[in-house]
Amino acid sequence: MKEEAGSYRPLSYFQLMEVSLRELLVEKGIVSEAEVQATVEDMRSRGPERGARVVAHAWSDAAFKARLLADGTRACEELGLDVPALRLVVVENTPAVHNVIVCTLCSCYPRMLLGIPPDWYKSRNYRSRVVREPRTVLAEFGLQVPAGVELRVHDSTADMRYMVLPMRPAGTERWGEQQLASIVTRDCMIGVAVPGVR
């Protein structure tokens, strides 16, 4: 049997479980199809904009930055960003320290700030290697961390979620928060890239 694109493949165990559970919840009136659809759409539409806004605000307001580093969750709430069921730890890049985030056990990721994680973040290749040979992996992303800089790998193994606060690049002194946010990419907040001014 052929579908419109590609060949037919039976559902995997987990796909079947998902469909069964969803259909049961709808049948019993616990959620509606429309609610499921709306939640999926909401998750899909999330990108790293929220995280970039947090970074740009921290670059512009030293007192906010101090609060963000002390308690990431509470500082995000100040900006009206709800980070439910999540303890956010923000780690700061400095001239002496570069941070990079991974979840070696699965794919924990600050979704509410950065959206859906990229596929490579969930890959075995990244998860197993960035903890063991981080400088080699970062070089593959095009990022050379100088030998004198301390490289800190953060393995999110339990209840914390991590976001990197990159260094504000030179040449952005007169920029407003919106312009600053435009150079803060997802990869900068994972720690596999650093923001730059073209």
Partner 1 sequence: MSAARFRPGERVRVLRRYPLGHIRTPYYIRGHTGVIERVCGEFGNPEELAQMRSGEPKQPLYRVRFLQREVWPDYRGAPQDVVEVEIFQHWLEKS
Q: CA 74, 164, 126 angle in degrees (round to 5)?
A: 130
152 touches partner 1 (CB under 8 A): yes
Between 10 and 95, name the residue whose CB sits nearer to partner 1.
Answer: 95
Residue 81's closest CA among 101, 58, 43, 51?
Answer: 51
* Tokens representing residue 55 in the block: 């970074």
Using the rule CB under 8 A, is 143 a contact of partner 1? no
**Whole-number minimum distance, CB 73 to partner 1, in Å?**
11
**Minimum distance, C-beta of residue 44 to partner 1, in the bound complex (Å):** 28
DSSP labels, 108-159: ---HHHH-SPPHHHHSHHHHHHTTTSHHHHHHHTT----TTSEEEEEE--SS
Contact 101, 155 (CB under 8 A): no
Say whether 106 is catalytic.
yes
Which of the ranges 4-12, 22-30, 127-135, 164-172 carries the binding residues for partner 1, by CB under 8 A? 127-135
Q: Which of 20, 45, 60, 108 is catalytic?
A: 108
Q: Strands 150-155 and 97-102, how do they pair?
A: parallel
Binding mask 80-99 for partner 1 (x = CB under 8 A): -------x-x----------
Cα 34 to chain centroid, rounded = 27
Q: Rule CB under 8 A: is residue 135 a binding residue for partner 1? A: yes
Stretch of 9-17, 158-166, 173-181, 184-192 lying at the interface with partner 1 (CB under 8 A): 158-166
Q: Is 154 in the site for partner 1 (CB under 8 A)?
A: yes
Which residues are designated catalytic? 103, 106-108
